[in-house]
């Protein structure tokens, strides 16, 4: 991850806050999660398809630090570099200039010494430094990562000066600051080394400037005596030394070198007068050429490298420091689905209509799951699921490196009670994404449960309206309207278009027989009830009419619906019209209406998910299941309908228990493994 120095400081400070404040005293876990969600949302708005740690880290850190800084002044101050370091970097060169100007002298106040020890020391020291820098550059240590130990010690000292003192060191902000400084010092040492190098080069240049200024300024009020003196050297030897000393000036700028006669004439500081200005300017030029100019160039070079490090920092977001973030980061998964039959393709469209928005299913945490077919995506996917029992189609080249598994047609898809199996298989294929898959699976299940609850509400409202109708005016047209309203509501909840579910508006023939019942109305044997078989036979003709009327779009489930309801609807309408027998028919009417409502839910909630070859088998099973289940729970159902309005409504949870049991018996036993 590439970022600026200030951005890196923000991220590292947020990491220290997260590490030290494990009790979430300054920033609550809810606020951390909210910052993560907002950062993920912003990344997706920028067009990021798969959000990683690098996409959210900076914005998340800024949001968290904004909250923490508003609650603690120490953390607010830590967001910006300490002022002590800035003042030190600016003040040291100025101090060196003043020291060179005031304290040091190349000679005494009235002499310019050709063999001045201070001058020779300054020149020799700088030449030694240049040789050392060249040696480091030759060894490849000039990238800033081989910073001397002295720089590290200096940096730690500066950072300790910024830390809270006294008892404040034991406070939470102080511990956060200590953790931040510890990691920041290691992270910033290369940049600090370049910054310190720039300051040292400026100090050396400023010292030489001070020396030069001291000569020039004293020359305004002092008449220098210039020359040399030595016990062991003669004029020829001094001439050779001076020629070598001032060779850079004479060679580069064409200046006239000192002659042997001039050197001999100035022995024992015999030179004086206006000629001394030449000697002073030679000294100043030598300092500028050998010390001031090179040091300023080196300072500029170090400053440029320091600025480059500040502008172009790198951060390894795959390290262990960001494990917590990666674990809480919303997953963004693309799952390739290879459907082996048209039934699976239609079921997939139904599933996406129920659970996906804009092609992706999302959790409250921000996780996204896309179920894609080969024509939906040209790139790679995280995993591949082959769905169905027929031979698998060819796997796209871009998908072949992804982990793969197969799910049978009956194992997942026909009903929402099986949907958890998909996430179990994906967790096996993608163990590193288990947390995201767990959240996505929970969101998927919550959506299914919400649809189930809404369906139960629609069923309960319908049955309460039916109970009122039976107890009231026995309006047959009103009952037909109630059935149509229920169908429309269930179809809307489960993403069905009008053409896929609406029945013909004509009622079954009046002479259609009703299912026979046992005399006491108690439970009929599930799956073996004679009443269920009679109901199925009575409604077969009506079921066929439903299938024909919808162009076969019900995949055969119209037969299942009509098998139970074909006789039920006509029988209910006929008995609603028998005013003189309505007392005797009331319970049977409600019984039939409850069967009709439950069957309508079973059919319409699975209409787009069940393959055609399963339709007849499920229809026959539901005939017996609904008849037997309603009979087994009739006393509780009747009591809930009768006592409606006198307290808590017990009808909806009772219907939920009945239908959930039917679904589990119908589908869970068929799957290869339970979800």
CA torsion, points 328, 442, 669, 521, in degrees to nearest 10?
A: 160
421 and 554 share a domain? Answer: no
Closest to 412 measured CA to CA, from 404, 427, 424: 424
424 and 459 share a domain? Answer: no
What are the structure tokens assigned to 534, written together?
Answer: 């009679």
Q: How far is CA 220 from CA 109, 138, 280, in A?
A: 12, 45, 12
399 and 454 share a domain? Answer: no
Neighbours of 519 (CB within 10 A): 5
412 and 474 share a domain? Answer: no
Confidence grade of residue 654 (pLDDT, cut at 50, 70, 90) = very high
Q: How far is CA 235 from CA 151, 189, 259, 333, 399, in A?
A: 46, 52, 10, 88, 89
- How confident is the model over 367-378, as a mean pLDDT? 88
Please report the pLDDT score of residue 262 as a whole number.
74
Whole-number percent of the chain with pLDDT over 70: 74
Report whether pLDDT(41) > 70. yes
399 and 493 share a domain? Answer: no
543 domain residue, yes or no? yes
In this structure, which long-range contacts are made by residues 122-125, counting pairs with CB atoms below 8 Å and at least 24 apart in sequence? Answer: 122/207, 122/208, 122/211, 122/287, 122/291, 123/245, 123/286, 123/290, 123/291
567 and 620 share a domain? Answer: yes
Closest to 230 measured CA to CA, from 114, 127, 393, 75: 114
424 domain residue, yes or no? yes
CA distance 116 to 108: 10
Q: What is the largest CA-CA distance in the chain?
A: 151
Q: Which residues pair with residue 461 across a beta bridge? A: none
What are the structure tokens assigned to 622, written together?
Answer: 């539901």
566 domain residue, yes or no? yes
Q: How far is CA 535 from CA 232, 449, 501, 538, in A?
A: 134, 30, 21, 5
DSSP 203: H
- What is the total count of domains within the chain? 2
Please report the pLDDT score of residue 140 as a whole number.
66
Q: Which of 392, 409, 442 is the last residue of a domain?
A: 442
pLDDT, tens digit, 9 for 90 and up, residues 447-506: 999 999 999 999 999 999 988 888 776 677 888 888 889 988 998 898 876 544 444 333
For 357, the 3-state DSSP assignment is: strand
For 249, the 3-state DSSP assignment is: helix
Q: Between 566 and 398, where is the model more confident?
A: 398
502 and 371 share a domain? Answer: no
- pTM of structure: 0.62
Q: Which of 411, 442, 473 is the last residue of a domain?
A: 442
Closest to 387 measured CA to CA, from 333, 427, 347, 360: 347
490 and 636 share a domain? Answer: yes
Please report the pLDDT score of residue 133 as a whole number.
86
**Cβ-contact 462, 486 below 8 angstroms:** yes
453 domain residue, yes or no? yes
Q: Which residue has the tokens 């606020």?
A: 31
- How confident is the model over 65-87, as a mean pLDDT? 79
pLDDT, tens digit, 9 for 90 and up, residues 164-181: 554 445 688 888 888 888
Q: What angle do CA 257, 263, 266 make, to 5 degrees?
A: 130
645 and 541 share a domain? Answer: yes
507 and 524 share a domain? Answer: yes
**Cβ-contact 337, 348 below 8 angstroms:** yes
Confidence grade of residue 548 (pLDDT, cut at 50, 70, 90) = very low
Q: Which of 386, 417, 442 is the last residue of a domain?
A: 442
Q: Which residues pair with residue 333 across a beta bridge? A: 369
- How confident is the model over 525-545, as a mean pLDDT? 36
Neighbours of 568 (CB within 10 A): 26
Q: How far is CA 57 from CA 50, 324, 605, in A?
A: 14, 12, 43
Please report the pLDDT score of residue 516 as a whole number.
46
Report whether pLDDT(40) > 60. yes
400 and 512 share a domain? Answer: no
**Cβ-contact 294, 130 below 8 angstroms:** yes
CA 546 to centroid of chain Cα atoms: 50
170 domain residue, yes or no? no
Taking the alpha carbons of 516, 522, 527, 528 in that order, is the dihedral positive or negative?
negative
Please report the pLDDT score of residue 202 as a whole number.
92
480 and 521 share a domain? Answer: yes
The kind and range of the H/E element at 370 are strand 368-372
- Residue 378: give the domain boundaries: 323-442
What angle separates helix 612-632 from helix 634-642, to the nearest 10 degrees? Answer: 70
């Amino acid at each position: 991850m590439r970022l600026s120095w200030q951005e890196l400081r923000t991220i590292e400070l947020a990491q220290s806050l997260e590490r030290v404040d494990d009790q979430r005293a300054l920033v609550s876990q809810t606020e951390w999660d909210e910052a993560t969600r907002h950062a993920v949302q912003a990344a997706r708005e920028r067009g990021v398809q798969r959000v990683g740690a690098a996409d959210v880290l900076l914005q998340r850190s800024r949001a968290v630090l904004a909250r923490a800084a508003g609650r603690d002044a120490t953390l607010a101050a830590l967001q910006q570099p300490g002022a002590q370091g800035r003042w030190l970097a600016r003040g040291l060169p100025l101090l060196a200039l003043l020291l060179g100007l005031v304290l040091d002298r190349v000679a005494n106040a009235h002499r310019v010494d050709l063999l001045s020890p201070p001058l020779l020391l300054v020149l020799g020291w700088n030449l030694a430094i240049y040789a050392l820098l060249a040696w480091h550059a030759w060894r490849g240590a000039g990238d800033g990562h081989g910073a001397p130990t002295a720089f590290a010690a200096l940096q730690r000292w500066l950072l300790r000066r910024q830390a809270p003192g006294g008892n404040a060191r034991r406070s939470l902000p102080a511990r956060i600051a200590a953790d931040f400084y510890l990691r920041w010092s290691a992270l910033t040492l290369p940049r600090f080394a370049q910054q310190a190098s720039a300051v040292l080069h400026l100090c050396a240049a400023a010292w030489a400037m001070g020396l030069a200024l001291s000569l020039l300024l004293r020359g305004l009020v002092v008449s220098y005596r210039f020359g040399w003196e030595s016990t062991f050297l003669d004029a020829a030897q001094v001439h050779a030394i001076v020629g070598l000393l001032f060779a850079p000036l004479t060679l580069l700028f064409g200046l006239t070198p000192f002659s042997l006669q001039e050197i001999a004439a100035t022995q024992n500081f015999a030179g004086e007068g206006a000629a001394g200005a030449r000697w002073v300017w030679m000294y100043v030029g030598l300092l500028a050429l050998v010390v001031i100019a090179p040091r300023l160039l080196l300072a500029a070079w170090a400053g440029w490298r320091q600025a480059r490090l500040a502008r172009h920092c790198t951060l390894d977001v795959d390290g262990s420091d960001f494990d917590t973030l990666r674990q809480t980061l919303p997953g963004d998964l693309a799952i390739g689905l290879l459907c082996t039959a048209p039934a699976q393709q239609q079921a997939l469209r139904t599933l996406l209509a129920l659970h996906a928005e804009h092609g992706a299913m999302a959790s409250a945490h921000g996780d996204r799951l896309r179920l894609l077919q080969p024509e939906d995506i040209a790139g790679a996917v995280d995993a591949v699921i082959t769905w169905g029992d027929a031979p698998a189609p060819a796997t796209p080249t871009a998908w072949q490196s992804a982990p793969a598994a197969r799910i049978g047609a009956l194992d997942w898809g026909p009903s929402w009670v099986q949907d958890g199996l998909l996430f179990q298989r994906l967790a096996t294929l993608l163990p590193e994404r288990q947390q995201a898959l767990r959240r996505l699976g929970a969101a998927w299940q919550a959506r299914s449960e919400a649809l189930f609850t809404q369906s139960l509400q629609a069923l309960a409202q319908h049955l309460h309206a039916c109970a009122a109708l039976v107890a009231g005016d026995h309006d047959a047209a009103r009952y037909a309207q109630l059935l149509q309203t229920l169908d429309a509501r269930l179809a809307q909840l489960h993403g069905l278009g009008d053409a896929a579910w609406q029945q013909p508006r004509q009622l079954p023939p009046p002479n259609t027989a009703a299912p026979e019942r046992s005399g006491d109305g108690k439970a009929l044997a599930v799956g073996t009830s004679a009443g269920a078989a009679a109901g199925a036979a009575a409604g077969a003709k009506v079921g066929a009419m439903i299938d024909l009327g919808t162009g076969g779009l019900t995949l055969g489930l119209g037969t299942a619906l009509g098998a139970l309801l074909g006789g039920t609807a006509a029988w209910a309408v006929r008995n609603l019209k028998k005013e003189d027998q309505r007392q005797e028919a009331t319970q049977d009417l409600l019984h039939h209406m409850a069967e009709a409502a439950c069957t309508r839910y079973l059919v319409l909630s699975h209409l787009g998910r069940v393959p055609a070859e399963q339709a007849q088998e499920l229809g026959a099973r539901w005939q017996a299941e609904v008849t037997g289940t309603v009979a087994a729970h009739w006393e509780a159902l009747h009591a809930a309908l009768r006592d409606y309005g006198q307290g808590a409504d017990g009808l909806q949870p009772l219907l939920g228990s009945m239908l959930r049991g039917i679904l589990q018996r119908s589908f869970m036993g068929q799957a290869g493994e339970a979800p």
